Structure 1
């Protein structure tokens, strides 16, 4: 696959020898973040079936230019599809174009197809039929998302902040005017409609499209609920739906002699600077986006910043936070790189390492490969930024590599991760007190249904029980450790690592939201807060954000975090640029430049 840029949009071309091109129109916001890797796998599947396939980020989303609070977002998203279709025809040279839209992307694809008038095929996967219904769904998501009791009210009551993404009041009003059942004219000659439910809305849409002259094939989207969710909640590939889609798209597709791979423009010029897709690591298999400031504001003395994946999310970060922060830093003259470690986002897994593995020390090698890439460009020092599992990888990378002069660890849940632990178990066992865990275990064992599942040897229930037992052991050990540290000066592994980092001159900023379950880790590992410092460790600071949730889904919380990070980086600036190394370290990387 080849990274491309067109019309302010970032995308991937999956080349194939065929004259029917496919443009994938993604879901929006949190739903897109959940299924991004599966969406890429679908593109690979379609390309393997002989259809060159383009997937991309709409304007103001993902790695594309802009942001979600700009005006006329719906218009920008539709225009993004126009630009994608035009690029496929002009650069790849396909004679036919099919659009595939998922969720809100289905509505966007339909509206774009109707305007274009030359789309041959349109596949709608669990599409948003009514924009008014979609905005109600997003309001419900926002209302039922767990937030701290002391969280401030939304900045604008007419905006919707759902899953860390914003639909402004203007965008909401534009979406409310969308209803595919009232479309005037057919969007394409052939339409495939796959829906998780065969209700009256879906039947009415199929009937309406037929009345407009389209040939409509309707069927079930089996496995939709298991598809449109987080990986750690049991995400599964909807094999039947993807197989149906592939067969439908391939039917009657004109062939081509060879796959046409254009030399695309891939450098995205921004007001703050420029972004370049970058491959790095062994055989240049890992992927990242290098965000560089404009030459007139570039601060060569400043360390480069590396953003590490949050959970299973791709390099744009939770709530697209890494993109926003990297561009803000570019405006201050700071170079950054947002990366996908192996098996996440757009980086393939290394042989022998599973996909989507979190809290994996092997990922430290991927971060160090990104540091090699930046060092080869003249950036000898780095600051690592990670949220949750990304903070874990940051910590152990800093211990291994002295090029890390500072790290920002946000809402870390575990300093020590045991092989075989699951994220579900870790979440269930995140309790501050031994008593809390004991009460939960006792209460669970009093429930006949849970006892029955335990007696039957159900793996999930036993894993949670053993996880709670291990967590209780950690907390008891913490109390014992505090006593031995006080009496005999004995330190644990984590405290020793922080002391080593401090001796090496590496600064650490721990950022926690008040009430975050990860705060117990400080107690477990004898890291005692003394104001905004950790007692006895001069180079370890602590910042608290009151009223925010774990992934900082609210705008004000992300803005607060951005201010903390900017202040931290400014305080680490050198008085003058460091001399470039006389013999730069050889690095396995390549920046894909403009044609």
Structure 2
């Protein structure tokens, strides 16, 4: 893991790379430091934390490099941590207090700084009510749980959409915010949080960056805290989308400077924590592994099924190994209950793995296939493996199936393309939101869309450009078929024939309306029957779900498809 240059005030010992730690069945990452002042990072939840993830990780590394023992962690029920007995605000607050205790015992610190982001800032303030916290950083906090839920509901309308542009089917009793489905107990308890009704936390020094909700700064000052306030430039780019997230460097510099204020001289050498114990739950045991610059979680079943092949989960875009809405973690654990071992890994540039030399995400990068093969090395026991992934993870899954004989089956969903031109501008290619011509046609049949067109809210020019691009591509494919009527060995159809010859299998799944459906038609046949003949089975279409397959029905269907594919391998 790459760390920033150590702070000169703590020269004399190089910072130690962050190591995985666990406490009370929660997974965290600890960076040792020389200071007796330690820092706990209290992240936000769900979609916002996925967007902030890489920047949050780098903030932790920079704080550790500046000399401060630093701990970041997944709340119970989030990321790779275990499930809580009860999912509510009290559980989250208790988790922060546990993190503070870990830092005091394992890091040997005398002072503790809490740094909270968004609703994590609200939780950090609640955890500081009993005292014992020396400094508190609140980054764009919410004054109440209702304010948080209200904003998430508003944002969900733009984040959670079906491929044809229709709103995500929401259940008011169980809403989804960017794939994140809060438990009923957490929703109810968040609705009861109101910082304006609570006594100010007894924290000597507080830094609030972002809007001051409900006069929070004044209340803290009235309680005796020294409060510094300021803006949070770059909040939206930081939290809006993981693929294009930009770390708020100015804000993070202020956080580090605040942490340094009044810090005592460093004492002794960095203290390394005890090795992480496994995360456990009903039917599974999980351990962190590191290989090369990659990080992964091996999910081992309590009772292995010797007839079932292990499963390698590949990142979807830049979503971390836990998956969009924590779907991958939950799927891996449900498979473990059936006796299946799995590895969910982060490619370089994603999650907790190292950075790529070019600083870019690994989407459609050919060199990332070598990292995925290294993941197969950790799973294969001589019988082969199953690989699965969504979107760019589907792309890698297809190429692994074609190139690595150890891959017996690939179960891939919402494949964008079979082959990627490295000269293509990735950001421009992904702007159309993965919509197909059929999806655009469906969108224009919806009530109210034409009013949006007339108001200029729908970019007709961009849609037309996208449709022309698709049409030209299909004309090119048709011309190629006329000139070369039989598929070559390097064509998609030729590669499918090759892996089928060795007994391997490809299962293609799409949300209805995905652009990749057109890619399949171009390469494997215009009719479902023709495609099914070349694959050995039909393409599976899932209705009424989004690109990330966040609906409960889609996730259960995916689980069953993987189980069926493994059983028939």
Q: TM-score, normalised by structure 2?
A: 0.87
Cα distance in 1, alignment partners of residues 355 and 525 from structure 2: 35
- Give the 3 Å change call, closer, same or farther, for CA 371–270 of structure 1 in structure 2: same
Query: Superposition RMSD on alpha carbons, in Å?
Result: 2.8
The one of 260, 267, 270 aligned to 1:250 = 260
Counterpart position of 1:236: 246
CA displacement at 1:496 relative to structure 2: 1.3
CA displacement at 1:303 relative to structure 2: 1.2
Cα distance in 2, alignment partners of residues 152 and 363 from structure 1: 32
CA displacement at 1:225 relative to structure 2: 1.1
The one of 405, 410, 415 aligned to 2:408 = 405
The one of 32, 45, 54 aligned to 2:71 = 54
Q: Is the 8 A contact 1:492 1:525 kept in 2?
A: no
Q: Is the 8 A contact 2:489 2:495 kept in 1?
A: no
Counterpart position of 2:311: 305
Q: What is the DSSP-based 3-state SS (H/G/I as helix, E as strand, rest coil) of the residue aligned with 2:564?
A: helix
Q: What is the DSSP-based 3-state SS (H/G/I as helix, E as strand, rest coil) of the residue aligned with 1:510?
A: strand
Q: Deviations over 1:182-228 (max 9, x none)?
A: 32132421111000x46xx36x1100111111111111111111111
Q: Is the 8 A contact 2:402 2:499 kept in 1?
A: yes
Q: Is the 8 A contact 1:407 1:508 kept in 2?
A: yes
Cα distance in 1, alignment partners of residues 487 and 271 from structure 2: 67
Structure 2 counterparts to residues 120-269 of structure 1, below 5 A: 120-144=134-158, 145-147=160-162, 153-154=169-170, 156-195=171-210, 197=211, 201=213, 204-232=215-243, 234-254=244-264, 255-269=266-280
After superposing the two structures, state which structure 1 stretch, 43-52 or 157-166, moved more.
Answer: 157-166
Cα distance in 2, alignment partners of residues 557 and 215 from structure 1: 50
- Confirm whether residue 370 of structure 1 aligns to residue 381 of structure 2: no
Q: What is the DSSP-based 3-state SS (H/G/I as helix, E as strand, rest coil) of the residue aligned with 1:359?
A: coil
Q: Is the 8 A contact 1:9 1:59 kept in 2?
A: yes
Q: Deviations over 1:341-373 (max 9, x none)?
A: 11211111344x433131112111011001112
- Give the 3 Å change call, closer, same or farther, for CA 399–176 of structure 1 in structure 2: same
Cα distance in 1, alignment partners of residues 253 and 487 from structure 2: 62
Q: What is the DSSP-based 3-state SS (H/G/I as helix, E as strand, rest coil) of the residue aligned with 1:166?
A: coil
Q: Deviations over 1:258-308 (max 9, x none)?
A: 11112233311221210000011xxx32110000001xx201332110000
Counterpart position of 1:101: 116
Q: What is the DSSP-based 3-state SS (H/G/I as helix, E as strand, rest coil) of the residue aligned with 2:336?
A: helix
- Confirm whether residue 4 of structure 1 aligns to residue 7 of structure 2: no
Counterpart position of 1:544: 541
Cα distance in 1, alignment partners of residues 225 and 539 from structure 2: 60
Counterpart position of 2:476: 477
Structure 2 counterparts to residues 550-569 of structure 1, below 5 A: 550-569=547-566
- Give the 3 Å change call, closer, same or farther, for CA 527–80 of structure 1 in structure 2: farther
CA displacement at 1:538 relative to structure 2: 4.7
Counterpart position of 1:33: 50
The one of 91, 116, 128 aligned to 1:76 = 91
Q: What is the DSSP-based 3-state SS (H/G/I as helix, E as strand, rest coil) of the residue aligned with 1:161?
A: coil
Structure 1 gap ranges (5+): 441-448, 450-460, 573-595
Counterpart position of 2:4: none
Q: What is the DSSP-based 3-state SS (H/G/I as helix, E as strand, rest coil) of the residue aligned with 2:129?
A: helix
Q: Is the 8 A contact 1:30 1:319 kept in 2?
A: yes
- Give the 3 Å change call, closer, same or farther, for CA 60–231 of structure 1 in structure 2: closer
Counterpart position of 2:80: 63
Counterpart position of 2:345: 339
Cα distance in 1, alignment partners of residues 382 and 151 from structure 2: 45
- Confirm whether residue 493 of structure 1 aligns to residue 510 of structure 2: no
Q: Deviations over 1:477-500 (max 9, x none)?
A: 222245456x55668721111111
Cα distance in 2, alignment partners of residues 433 and 207 from structure 1: 54
CA displacement at 1:18 relative to structure 2: 1.2
Cα distance in 1, alignment partners of residues 277 and 382 from structure 2: 22
The one of 361, 368, 376 aligned to 1:356 = 361
Q: What is the DSSP-based 3-state SS (H/G/I as helix, E as strand, rest coil) of the residue aligned with 1:525?
A: helix
Counterpart position of 1:443: none
Counterpart position of 2:132: 118
